Structure 1
């Protein structure tokens, strides 16, 4: 098996010489994975990515909202639900700081973020009062560009083509009218 990075994700390729086999349920590796999973699920935070840990660049206002994975968000049958997730920001649209720090035609600030966790990838909107709460009251292009670069895992002065490592952040996501929206989240990093 060989591995390669494809659109920012690891992709495993099986070769003609590849072989695989199922491990029995009583194998030590399987038992260890099950034990670690059960321990994480029993924790207060619930199903979080194993390698994500505080401190995060963001804080959320809704402490009593349950943690969920993006797959949970995608498969929730309820509408008008809000959950707390641990995600990475892979992309923002519009990509230029001068464009996302200017109000849209409706007079509100608006941007779309591509969010990822180990279970899924989604697009979520950050707009209006939630945009202002997220970024604070500083509307300087340089300050906003620096904050977005931190979210994307880029050092200041790096170009968007260089290798980056987006940090894990906490955010609240609400599902309203079929659209995922970031709410109740503030950038503190």
Structure 2
């Protein structure tokens, strides 16, 4: 039966779910939480799913309300233990859950199976610890420790996820990644940057001319580039995925940076050829311990990649060896680096070799490649798995790139090949503009420089050199 206010004891979850419309005390292991959100009126809201030995599947959902997001439970890791006092058991459409009332309920959160202390790392203001709490914490910790590793993986669902290299357009996906950074991008709108050391799949694009004539594609999804001191902390290998919320909400800012998380029920989509992840109202969150086997394996795979000879080239099953690419460079012995390496290089001036895709060319019309004075002046938008940049192809570097001044027909063929435009003959103009394109990987030499010596970091530019088309 449920506890009375003067009867202090915890109910096993299997018994609590029968105590409809009664206040109970619960202690359980946290499976997952939701992203905090603004609820109707002034309240903030999140959910916490808990289990115990009596009810390890599917778990009991506790709906938590607070005056602000800071007063909601903030669980450090899946597997931590939370204690709830005086929560109401409710039933709705056959589903049973518990409701945390901000006026009478209380909570405290403790470290999980590896914890040795009985002091909570977060507690509500009205929480009053009792010595009796310790035996319940000790029993749950022993239960978790006695489970074998395979059972633990099943318990927290860590075997049901996609690495970033396997993400796809669609909903109800689960990702495991590390939160690198969080920033405000608009009023009441935040963006998180996550990473797992792998390269997201290439995104096909449309060949619509106006997109490449009137506007070069964006270099990032955030309105302005991140500060340099933030970029310097990012890994230079692997895709950094942008994460946003479906609605305007400030709950994303409460994510803990430098932590591995499991994001459940998210939607991945492509915007301007860039991948982004959308958190929906149904999305859930698990913070993971760095000691988890999957996290350790991800870190080892990343460190192994750093040791490979071609470690800085994109990890793509379609990436050809340099000798078979449609371009070649004069710096055959120069190692490949990523565009993130180029962007974060400690010196403004430098020379680099990259494997990239050309996703846009301006001007688009080949007859406009040269100025009225006969000088090449072209801007290429380049991308790899780590970043995008605009790079200039200018004057003598262009002459070397195109082998002089070929016919307009040859320039068009080269342009289409670089952009991955494959248009069968006989198609209408509308069909040509809407055709899918998949730019190939090419190797390029890049030179970074600045145009204003008094503002070295703010005016960093990039120029293609020592590169020519061979096919």
Give TM class, smaller chain: 0.7 to 0.9
Contact map agreement 1:149 1:156 (CA 8 A) in 2: no
Q: Secondary structure at the match of 1:21?
A: strand
8 Å CA contact 1:146–1:156 kept in 2: the answer is: no
1:96 to 2:369 alignment? no
Q: Structure 1 residue aligned with 2:305, among 27, 31, 40?
A: 40
Give the superposition deviation at 1:67. 2.1
Q: Does residue 169 in structure 1 map to residue 442 in structure 2?
A: yes
Is 1:124–2:391 an aligned residue pair? yes
- CA shift in 2, pair 1:4/1:41, >3 Å: same
Question: Secondary structure of 1:12's partner?
Answer: strand
Comparing 23-32 with 160-169, greater Cα deviation is found at 23-32
Residues 141-185 of structure 1, C-alpha deviation per residue, up to 9 Å, x if partnerless?
Answer: 111111111111111457343221111111110012232001111
CA, structure 1 residues 22+86, in 2 after alignment: closer, same or farther (shift >3 Å)? farther
Structure 1 unmatched ranges of 5 or more:
none
Distance in 2 (alpha carbons) for counterparts of 1:36 and 1:26: 15
Q: Which moved more, 1:117-126 or 1:161-170?
A: 161-170
Deviates more, 1:69-78 or 1:32-41: 32-41
* Whole-Å separation in 2 of the counterparts to 1:66 and 1:106: 36
SS in 2 for 1:155: coil
Q: From the CA coordinates, give the structure whose radius of gyration is larger.
A: 2
**TM-score for both structures, normalised by structure 1:** 0.88
Matching residue of 1:13: 278
CA RMSD of aligned residues (A): 2.0
Alignment match, 1:71: 340
Match of 2:267 in 1: 2
Q: How far, CA to CA, are the matches of 1:115 and 1:121 in structure 2?
A: 6
User: TM-score, length-normalised on structure 2?
Assistant: 0.37
4+ long deviations beyond 4 Å: none
Q: Is the 8 A contact 2:423 2:435 kept in 1?
A: no
Alpha-carbon shift at residue 131 of structure 1 (Å)? 0.8
How many angstroms does 1:105 deviate by? 4.2
Q: Which has the higher contact order (CA 8 A, sep 6+)?
A: 1
Change (3 A) 1:53 1:29: farther
The residue aligned with 1:50 is: 315
Aligned residue pair count: 187
* 1:77-121 deviation digits (Å, cap 9, x = unpaired): 313310011111110000112211xx3145311200000111111
**Partner in structure 1 of residue 403 of structure 2:** 136
Q: Unaligned 5+ residue runs, structure 2? A: 1-265, 425-430, 451-459
